Amino acid sequence: MSSTNERIICVPGQVLCASSNDHVAGQGTFERMGYIYASLAGVVKVEKKLEINIVQVQSLKEQSTVPSPGDIVTARVLIVKSRQCMCEIKCIGDITLTRPFRAVLRQEDVRATEKDRVKMYESFAPGDIILARVLPIMDVHTYQLSTAENELGVVISNSEAGVPMVPISWTEMQCPVNFTKKLRKVAKVIPENIDMDMEDNTETEKKPNIS
């Protein structure tokens, strides 16, 4: 190992320390035959958590993020079929991906209640941007998503006029130009700046409701 300014730099395969109850292998390291080795080229960081030292290696290049079960991802709907829809994962959390990943959203995973009565055409449309959660990997080749929560579902959807539609309920969105209503599984996105004054909110959100 070599150090610059009290920082320890390491390369893959380099021994960092002996593993014990105090020292645990963290990200960028692996344990073998009682020793902790580095698996990346970078800087060694030791994090202390409840008297346990977690030995990590932080690489200079971002390690490629891969969707893992439980992550909330932003995806675009590509194809809508009767029992499932094919999506493309664009972001994982805050990180935008350089390469999109393919995923499948099945009929049973769209809602938490009345799972079999869901109609895919009334929940999603091609081109919608959705927030979904990654399910544990079952299928070898594609990721499985779920929108069975209030906060998950369609976030942005463009109408035929090409304008983003406005959500009017948990199952409907309306186009502000021609006022047509479309059925979607809308996500309960809590805006970052909430105006707590309820009176102001109702006035600004008044929209003509011509059906």
Partner 1 sequence: MPVDHRRIQGPECSEDYRKPKNLDAALLKKGGRRADGRKCGEQRKIFLKPGVVSQAKGSAYIELDHTKVICSVFDPREKASRNVEQQTVRGEIFCEFKFASFSGVQRRSHQQEADDKEYSLLLKNALEPAVCLHEFPNFQVDVQVLVLQDDGSSLAAAITCAGLALADAAVPMYDLPVGLSKAFTGDTEFYDPTGAEERLCLRGVDGESDHGVFTVGFLPTFNQVSQLFHSGHISPDRFEKMISEVGTLAAEVHKAVQAILLSAVKSSIDSSNNSKLLL
Give burial (CB, 10 Å; 0-12/13-18/19+) of 12.
middle
Which of 83, 74, 71, 177 has its CA nearest to residue 123?
83
> Among the candidate windows 5-13, 126-134, 166-174, 187-195, which touches partner 1 by CB under 8 A?
5-13
Residue 29 vs 157, nearer CB to partner 1: 29
Per CB under 8 A, does 7 bind partner 1? yes
Helix (H) or strand (E) holding 85: strand 84-92
Which of 188, 123, 105 has its CA nearest to residue 150?
188
Contact 165, 175 (CB under 8 A): yes
- Angle ∠(134,127,160) on CA atoms, nearest 5: 150
DSSP 109: G
Per CB under 8 A, does 28 bind partner 1? yes
> Among the candidate windows 96-104, 154-162, 167-175, 193-201, which touches partner 1 by CB under 8 A?
96-104
Residue 48 vs 99, nearer CB to partner 1: 99
Supply the minimum distance, in Å, between the C-beta of residue 130 and partner 1: 19
Tokens 């020292």 correspond to what residue?
23
Question: Which backbone phi and psi does 135 adopt, to 5 degrees?
Answer: -90, 160
Per CB under 8 A, does 171 bind partner 1? no
Tokens representing 208 are: 């003509």
Site size with partner 1, rule: CB under 8 A:
34
Per CB under 8 A, does 124 bind partner 1? no
Per CB under 8 A, does 54 bind partner 1? no
Residue 96 vs 169, nearer CB to partner 1: 96
Per CB under 8 A, does 66 bind partner 1? yes
Residue 99 vs 117, nearer CB to partner 1: 99
Query: Which residues are paired to 38 by β-bridges?
Result: 29
Residue choice 72, 101, 122, 189 for contact with partner 1 (CB under 8 A): 101
Rounded Cα distance, 146 and 135, in Å: 7
In the complex, which residues of this chain contact partner 1 (CB under 8 A)? 2, 4-5, 7, 9, 11-15, 28, 30, 32, 37, 39-43, 58-64, 66, 98-99, 101-102, 137, 140-141
